[in-house]
A and B are shown apart, each in its own frame.
Chain A
Amino acid sequence: KQEVTQIPAALSVPEGENLVLNCSFTDSAIYNLQWFRQDPGKGLTSLLLIQSSQREQTSGRLNASLDKSSGRSTLYIAASQPGDSATYLCAVRPNSGYALNFGKGTSLLVTP
């Protein structure tokens, strides 16, 4: 069974810092990996999707990398802002099926 782990569980940084969120998964037979943002009491917003054949994806201040063989992904946030405060979820889709396996998330607080 696929296990997805996110470290750290919570993170607090001052505004302007660059930061890295980590995601690891136990089964490397994945179709893709997706990073989401979830605000309190809200649904999920897709941030970046990396196909299994890709190494990284970038969108604005966000960069996600994927090392499938080692079962790891990182989400890099540059020049963090208070508006980045949210829970960030990592999810992997297996080669068979569409359902996603989620990590427990990293709760990020960016202080002014």
Chain B
Amino acid sequence: GAVVSQHPSWVICKSGTSVKIECRSLDFQATTMFWYRQFPKQSLMLMATSNEGSKATYEQGVEKDKFLINHASLTLSTLTVTSAHPEDSSFYICSASSWNTGNQPQHFGDGTRLSIL
């Protein structure tokens, strides 16, 4: 089945650091990737939708200059949290979809736990 790999799985860093998270589709071409954020005991909230070769679409309230998304190829999207602060500590998870898999389950990575000190 379709596999989505997310890296790193866990990051601890100092306040002010920028952190890059990678999301890769390993065995299919992901024309669209989604980035979600999950705070403790809360559900997943969509941050942005990333389409290959074009600018990401951000949800209301998500700062595009703080959360930089790049989807340069059909198998890779990256999320960079710039100048991270403790309030950015969260669980970030990506999912991938192909136009050819509209009737198939959306496939999720294993998530990245980000802790900012």
Q: What is the interface of chain A, defined by CB distance below 8 A to chain B?
A: 4, 31-32, 34, 36, 41-46, 49, 51, 89, 91, 93, 97-105
Contacts and interface: CB of A to CB of B under 8 A. Distances in A.
A46 B44 contact: no
A52 to B, nearest CB: 10
A105 B106 contact: no
Contacts of B46: 99-101
B100 interface: no
Given A32-B103, A51-B103, A98-B34, A44 B43 contact: no
Interface of B: 6, 32, 34, 36, 41-46, 49, 91, 93, 95, 97, 102-111, 113
A101 B45 CA distance: 8
A76 to B, nearest CB: 19
Nearest to B113: A41
B110 A46 contact: no
A99 B108 contact: no
Nearest to B105: A46
Given A44-B44, A46-B105, A51-B103, 4 more contacts: A34-B106, A93-B106, A100-B34, A100-B44
A103 B41 CA distance: 11
